[in-house]
Structure 1
Amino acid sequence: MPQTVLITGTSTGFGKATAEHFAAHGWNVVATMRHPASGDALAALPGVLVNRLDVQDLPSIEQAIAEGIERFGAIDAVVNNAGFGLFGLFEATPREKIQEQFDVNVFGVMDVVRAILPHFRARRSGTIANVSSGAGVFALPMIPLYTASKFALEGFSESLSYELASQGITVKIVEPGGVLDTGFGSRSASEAGRMNVPADYEAFATATLKVFDGLRSKRLATSQDVAKVIFDAVTDGTDRLRYLATEDIRPLVEARRQTSEETYMALMRESFRV
C-alpha cells in the first residue's frame, strides 16, 4: 500500500515542489492550501488530493486531516511547510502583524501537530517534518519576528521529538536558506514595501539591505532541491532531527554551531556595523 503524506502550504514554492516530489515517488499526497482553486495542477497528478487547510482556521485543519484519512485510509507523515516571513524593524512593526507571524509560523504548526497526534499515536508510528529556516539557527536584523518564530519552531520541534519518541513518532526539522524560484519572498516584499523606517534607523537599514543583497546573490538552490531534502528526511528511517537544505547558509550555520560565542558574535556584529 502506498504511504500518505499531508503537506501544508502547497500552492507555491517548497510546498508545491514537495507535493510533486512525493507523488513522483509513489506516495499518496494530501496537498493542502488556503485556496484550493490554486491547486488544479497538483489535483491532476495521480494519488493527489487537494484540500483546503488554513493554519489559522482550526476546523479546516481537522477537516483536511479527516478527509485525507477517509480518502487514503491513513496518514503516515505530515510536512508543516506553510509560513511567511515578516520583514522590517521591530520598532516599526505593528503588534497585529507580530501576532499574525506567530499565528502562522508557530501556533498553526502546533495546531496541525495536535490534530494529527491522536491518529499517529493510535498507529504507534508517524513522521512530522517541520520546515524551519536558516533564520531558525542564526539571527539577522530586519527580520526579528520571522527569526523569533523560527527559533520558537526549532525549540518546539526538538522538545516535541523527545516526547513523541515514546509513542513511535519521529520529528524532523528541515532548514532551508534562500532559493531561486520560490514565491515565498513575494509576501515578505509586500510587507517591506509598507515598512516605515524611523529616521534614526535609516543608515542602518540601508546598510543592512545591502548585506541582504549579497546573501541573495549566493542563492543557487531551487524549490525542488529543498523538496528532495524534505523527502529524504521523512523517508530515511532514522531519528536524525535536523537537515540543512541549501548550501548558501552553511557558512553561517557552521559559524553558529561550530565556533565560540565570541567568534560568532564578532562576525555578525561586523557584518551589520554601520
Structure 2
Amino acid sequence: MSKTILITGASSGIGKATAQLFSSKGWNVIATMRSPEKETELINDPNIFVTQLEVTEPETIQNAINKGIEKFGKIDALLNNAGYGTSGIFETLTDKTIHDQFNVNVFGVMNVTRAILPHFRTNQNGVIANISSGVGKIPFPLVSVYVASKYAVEGFVESLAYELDSQNIKVKIIEPGYIATNFQQRAFSDSENNTVPEDYTSFLDETNALFNSLGTENTASAQDVAQTIFNSITDGTHQLRYIAGPDIVSMIEARNNKTDQEYVEFLRGMFAPNGFNNKI
C-alpha cells in the first residue's frame, strides 16, 4: 500500500516541487493550498489530491485531514511548508505585519501539527517535517521578524520531538539557504512602501549591496530542497536537522565552531563592515 503525505503551501516553490517528487516516488500526496481552484498542474497527477487548507483557519485544516484520510486511507507524513517572509527595518513594521507573520509561520505550524497528531498517535507512527530556514540558525538583518518566527519554529519543533519520541512519531527540521523561488521577491516587496528614517540609509545601502552581490550560483533549487525533504522523511532515523543548500553550510559551521561573541562579530563584519567599524 502506498504511503501518503500531506503538504501545506503546495501551490508553488518548495511545496509544489515536493508534491511532484513524492508522487514520482509512488507516494500519495494531499497537496493543500489556500486557493485550490487556481491550481492547474497538480490536479492532473493521479497520485495527487488537491484540496483547500489555510493554516490560520483550524476548520480548513481538519477538513483537509479528513478528506485526505477518506481518499487514501491514512496519512503517514506531514510537511509543514506554508509560510512567507516579512522584511524591512524593524521600527517601520506595524503590529499587524508582525502578528500576521507569527500567525502563519509559527501558529500555523502549531495548528496543523496539533490537528494531525491524534491520527499519528492512533497509528503509533508518522513523520512531521517542518520547513525552517537558514536564518533559523543564522540571523540576517532586514528580516528580524521572519528570523524570530523561524527561531520560534526551531525551538517548538525540537522540544516537540522529545515528546513525540514516546509515540513513535519522528520530527524533522529542514533548513534551506537561499532558494531560487519568488519567496524572496515577495518578502522584500512588502517593505517597499515603508517610510524608513534617513539614519538607516548607509546601513541599507551596504546591506543591500551585499545581498545583491551574493548571486545564485551556489544555491539550491526548490527541487534540491524537495529531495532533502524526501530523504529526511524516508531515512528512518531520528536525525532532527537537515541543511538544504550549499550556500549556508560554511556559515552554519562557523556558528557551530566559533564562540557566541566571535560569531556575532563575524556577522557584523559581513553585513555592515563600514557602519560597524566606524562605531568601534
- TM-score, normalised to structure 1, is 0.97
Count of equivalent residues: 273
Aligned pairs (5 A) from 1:1-274: 1-180=1-180, 182-271=181-270, 272-273=272-273, 274=275
CA RMSD of the aligned region, Å?
1.1
Shift in Å at residue 3 of structure 1? 0.2
Q: In structure 2, do the counterparts of structure 1 residues 194 and 218 end up closer, same or farther at CA, with 3 Å as the change threshold?
A: farther
Structure 1 counterpart of 2:107, one-letter code:
F
Structure 2 letter corresponding to 1:21? L
Q: For 1:26, what is the secondary structure of its paired residue?
A: coil
Give the Å deviation of 1:233: 0.4
Aligned partner letter, 1:14: I
SS of 2:29's equivalent?
strand
SS in 2 for 1:220: coil
Unaligned runs of 5+ in 1: none
Instruction: Say if 1:221 and 1:263 are closer, same or farther in 2 by CA, change over 3 A.
Output: same
Distance 1:263 1:185 in 2: 28
User: How many angstroms does 1:244 deviate by?
Assistant: 0.2
Report the 3-state secondary structure (helix = DSSP H, G, I; strand = E; otherwise coil) of the residue aligned with 2:129.
strand
Percent of pairs with identical residues: 48
Deviation of 1:215 after TM superposition, in Å, equals 3.0
**Secondary structure of 1:29's partner?**
strand
After TM superposition, the structure 1 stretch with the greater mean CA deviation from structure 2, 160-169 or 184-193, is: 184-193
Residue by residue over 1:6-43, the C-alpha shift from the partner in whole angstroms, topping out at 9 and shown as x without a partner, is 00001110000000000000000000011102322111
Report if the CA contact (8 A) 2:87-2:142 is conserved: yes
For residues 31 and 185 of structure 2, what CA distance do their matches in structure 1 show?
A: 21
What amino acid is aligned across from residue 174 of structure 1 in structure 2? I
Contact 1:178 1:216 in 2 (8 A): no
Kept in 1, the 8 Å contact 2:177–2:219? The answer is no
Instruction: Tell me the CA shift for residue 207 of structure 1.
Output: 1.0
Whether the aligned pair in 1 keeps the contact of 2:130 and 2:173 (CA below 8 Å) is yes
CA distance in 1, matches of 2:218, 2:105: 23
Whether contact under 8 Å (1:86, 1:101) holds in the other structure is yes
- Alignment deviations for residues 49-68 of structure 1 (CA, whole Å, 9 cap, x no partner): 00101111111111001100
Q: Tell me the secondary structure at the aligned position of residue 166 of structure 1.
A: helix
The 1:270/1:254 distance shift into structure 2, 3 A limit, reads same
Normalising by structure 2, we get a TM-score of: 0.95
Amino acid at match of 1:189: F
